[in-house]
Amino acid sequence: MNNADAEGIRLQKVLSQAGIASRRAAEDLISRGKVKVNGEPARLGQRVDPDKDVIHVSGKRVITDVDTVYFAINKPRGVISTMDDEEGRLSLAEYAKGIDQRVFHVGRLDTDSEGLLLLTNDGELANRIMHPSHGLPKVYRAQVNGIMDKATWNRLLAGVELEDGPAKADKLKIIDEHAGQSLIEITIHEGRKHIVRRLMDEVDHHVSRLVRTEIGPIKLRNLKPGTIRRLTPDEVGLLYREVGL
């Protein structure tokens, strides 16, 4: 046993504390070659330094710092996407009061928009998610005026020219059409301000309601407006993999 092994913590204990698996199940994962430490296959009985060693299970990063937290929030309409508003308007801080750590929001939604935002104190991951080079897809449900014809559909997928450059939808799906309105699902990978609303205005389909339902691998699911849930270790690992960490 080398000095690093002698001084570290048993790998299966670290995996158990991180919520990945029980110690016995962690030993099984190690035996089956599912665990890597610093890019190398892990060994049964191996000791690691949770503060320095990088651990992956089945290709997904394991977060071993117990003080690092990750949450999803369903931002209600009318709430400011900030943790501190000088004008005293209702902000995300009101909904994060139950979180012991000081967190910040990853990206933003405009005041009139609703849905999924991420809260964390992991600066490295947040920077990767927001950086344009990673282009995490974001999925929205938009209530728009009018019924879209095929030409408009194709235009959105091909791209339109906005005042700050071209923009396009990666995917489109019609959810419902009724009384001269359409409910659509639109997937877009960039994060320019008001990008979905501006994109739809350009094709004369004004957005009356906008809800973000997905950011990369993280889904809103049945999270109620104004509520928060902690991301699972699996979700955090998927986020890390999406941004190359």
Sequence-ordered alpha helix ranges (H) in the chain: 3-7, 11-17, 23-31, 123-130, 150-158, 195-202, 233-242
Burial class (CB in 10 A: 0-12, 13-18, 19+), 204: exposed
pLDDT tens, N- to C-terminus, the chain (245 residues): 444 445 789 999 999 888 888 889 999 999 999 999 999 999 998 999 988 899 999 988 888 887 899 999 999 999 999 988 888 889 999 999 889 899 999 988 999 999 999 999 999 999 998 887 777 899 999 999 999 999 999 999 999 999 999 999 999 999 999 999 999 999 999 878 899 999 999 999 999 999 999 999 999 999 999 999 999 989 999 999 998 87
Q: Is 110 an active-site residue?
A: yes
DSSP string, 157-223: HH-EEETTEEE--SEEEEEEEETTEEEEEEEE----TTHHHHHHHHTT--EEEEEEEEETTEE-TTP
State the Cα–Cα distance between residues 92 and 120, nearest whole angstrom. Answer: 12
pLDDT the model gives residue 6: 56
> Angle 160-162-167 (CA atoms, 0-180°, nearest 5)?
50
DSSP state of 50: T
Name the active-site residue from 110, 170, 201, 234: 110
pLDDT the model gives residue 125: 92
**Burial state string for 168-187 with b = 16 or more CB within 10 A and e = fewer than 16:** ebeebeeeeeeeeebebbbe
- Residue of 89, 86, 97 whose CA lies nearest to 119: 97
pTM: 0.85
pLDDT the model gives residue 190: 84
DSSP state of 91: B
Other Cβ atoms less than 10 A from the Cβ of 1: the count is 9
pLDDT the model gives residue 98: 86
